[in-house]
Amino acid sequence: MSLQESLADIGLKVMSQAHRTIVHLSGGRVLGSVFGMPAVELHTVGRTSGRPRSTMLTAPVIDGARVVLVASKGGDDRDPDWYRNMMADPDIELTMAGHRRPMRARLASAEEKAELWPQVVAVYKGYGDYQRRTTRDIPVIICEPR
């Protein structure tokens, strides 16, 4: 990993921690949504450490109990760690509006992504920019209650 990639990863982790702290201290009144999308806290298990991990994300699509996440990492050519943890152990939890919910995550099929992607980009056009910035196919994840 290059120094630039390491610094970018550290920056994302610091931003996520600051976001989580602000959301928790304000009871979700501050930064409870970002760019018009609800903020969610994703809880995973580290794929190599086995330790609990959490990160703040946005949910561009919430359809009933189904929550859609996008593993964009800002258009980076690497998948985010949370995505790799989730693929190793898809039993996750999401904290939304102060409530922690057990969920099961799965990668959207090509057909599901084709249906969801226009909705995702309609909510936040930055996701389209991220896809154009990278050569990898940005994963779309569907989280459903377990």
CATH of the domain at 54: 2.30.110.10
Domain span holding position 138: 3-145
Report whether pLDDT(146) > 90. yes
Give the predicted TM-score (pTM) of the model. 0.84
Asked if 26 contacts 97 with a C-beta cutoff of 8 angstroms, the reply is no
138 — pLDDT class (breaks 50, 70, 90): very high
Token pair 């976001």: residue? 19
> Closest Cα partner for 60 from 143, 146, 132, 145?
143
C-alpha to C-alpha distance for 89 and 81, rounded to whole angstroms: 12
98 — pLDDT class (breaks 50, 70, 90): confident
Domain count, the chain: 1
Average pLDDT over residues 84-102: 95
pLDDT of residue 2: 76
Pairing of strands 37-45, 99-107: unpaired
104 — pLDDT class (breaks 50, 70, 90): very high
- Among 10-19, 64-73, 90-99, 136-145, the range scoring the smallest mean pLDDT is 10-19
Token pair 């109990």: residue? 65
pLDDT of residue 61: 95
